[in-house]
Structure 1
């Protein structure tokens, strides 16, 4: 994973891949991190609260929401659908400078595991990463970046990822 994520790592930056059970706020402030997972990772949920794309849930639905769109576009998974019948999952990939910790953060997080798997594939495979970065401005490496990923779920596994949206900002 380390080699594949290098294009997303700020120049000269080291990073740690962590789960929320391994890290507290003090450790987040020590240096750049890669956060994996959404609803099972408290840090992902906190950090994505103010990003253009983020996760929301209630008793019936888990969703990925476009907070910047006037019509509040969203991508949803319904709890009533049996897990084995899920057709799609969604994820985000983000590379930001977090104002709370003062550190760079990379997030790879799906609504469910298949979405996280698809987002990881975008980061791992240069062709998918290139596809995502083509949707960003040329100076993306100087900006915060967040992308929405979609995958078809086939027999409980993530299919090829598709980049649905990319946002960048200062």
Structure 2
């Protein structure tokens, strides 16, 4: 805001903001680090919320246009400071107009030239409905009042933004221990192994289906569909060890990364065996997905709720009662379950959050719950008053329609 008021629009760039406001290095890659874009989106959301409930005495509006980080100012149409507020259909431009008007033909009109009011495209006699341009632009008094109001509104708006910090409340309580740690957070995502056809298998398929593919790209993107009685040998397949987690896990990891960025918490991302017990023993961790690594799975031992992910069956089980919750079809789509475990001091000796779904959509939905202030606030209402100082497990249910999970329903909790 200060740079805009001083006329330094060229200083309001993504890289400069990242360095000045978020402590990034001078050569940091803006394409890989979205901190400025994420915060700009949040500012636009708060501005929209602020404008939806404006006090009557607010005269100046602030906007942050999409695709830009330069704030724009405009007078409220009902403002008595708006010289055109009494003229229907006339709206002021955001910027203060040039001090020289122009003739209808485009030639500038200087102060020593004589023009009649009807010749002036701006002002009260002009036909242009886009700006208030008199012979000398806005009067110095009005310009001064506008700038004073902009400065006052800017201070008030920043104070309002601070008072409505989206990372306060339930989010701050849930993630508090990870934010207080001096170590960067470790976000650990699973890395599964899959198998793909070898070139020899594609060759056999092309012989029996000569017009199935136009080129190699089709082979890569389309499903290879042999006849149901075709025989495939183990030698026809090759392992893929770097395909990463499923879509739900990826999206959940992106949400957690965005949250950590918004909270200004440094973090690293690890896939599968890239994260070691030694690293998690030294840093707070967030484990995404149930099938991560053998030793991260072992961290669930002895917990009240646990996900059992077998080749033929996946379900959540309560240890004492042996009650189970399974994903399955419904009249409208599919029901899935997510399990969230938060340990203030885990077996690693550090703060640990692990969340996963019985299905892929459950993992994504659990990640959304943990990063959405409203959803998380609603979920923790059933917890005891001092829950933020305790270990917590949340079992939530999601209805999945067309592959997308709906709002979470809290099924059960356990606090110790």
Asked if Structure 1 and Structure 2 have the same fold, meaning a TM-score greater than 0.5 normalized by the shorter chain, the answer is yes
SS in structure 2 of the partner of residue 29 of structure 1: helix
Between the two proteins, the alignment pairs up a number of residues equal to 161
Computed over aligned residues only, the root mean square deviation of the Cα atoms, in angstroms, reads 2.4
SS in structure 2 of the partner of residue 164 of structure 1: strand
User: 2:276 & 2:344 partners in 1: Cα distance?
Assistant: 18
The residue that corresponds to 2:368 in the other structure is 121
The reply to whether residue 55 of structure 1 matches residue 279 of structure 2 is no
The residue that corresponds to 2:335 in the other structure is 88
TM-score, normalised relative to structure 1: 0.83
User: Cα deviation per residue 1:29-81 (whole Å; 9 max; x = unaligned)?
Assistant: 1110011111245455221222111011334310111113x3x1111136xx7
> What is the CA-CA distance between 1:162 and the residue it aligns to?
1.3
The residue that corresponds to 2:400 in the other structure is 153
Residue 327 of structure 2 contacts residue 334 of structure 2 at CA under 8 Å; is this kept in 1?
no
The residue that corresponds to 1:7 in the other structure is 173
Indicate the structure with greater strand content.
1
The reply to whether residue 75 of structure 1 matches residue 325 of structure 2 is yes
The reply to whether residue 142 of structure 1 matches residue 308 of structure 2 is no
The residue that corresponds to 1:34 in the other structure is 286
Instruction: Mark the CA change 1:44 to 1:156 in structure 2 (over 3 Å): closer, same or farther.
Output: farther
TM-score, normalised relative to structure 2: 0.36
> Which structure 1 segments of 5+ residues have no match?
none
Runs of 4+ with deviation above 6 angstroms: none
User: 2:350 & 2:377 partners in 1: Cα distance?
Assistant: 25
Q: RCO higher in 1 or 2 (8 Å CA, sep ≥ 6)?
A: 1
User: 1:168 & 1:48 partners in 2: Cα distance?
Assistant: 15
User: 1:38 & 1:8 partners in 2: Cα distance?
Assistant: 20
2:187 paired residue among 5, 13, 17:
17
Instruction: Mark the CA change 1:161 to 1:42 in structure 2 (over 3 Å): closer, same or farther.
Output: farther
Segment drifting more, 21-30 vs 57-66:
57-66
User: 1:126 & 1:151 partners in 2: Cα distance?
Assistant: 18
User: 2:353 & 2:335 partners in 1: Cα distance?
Assistant: 23
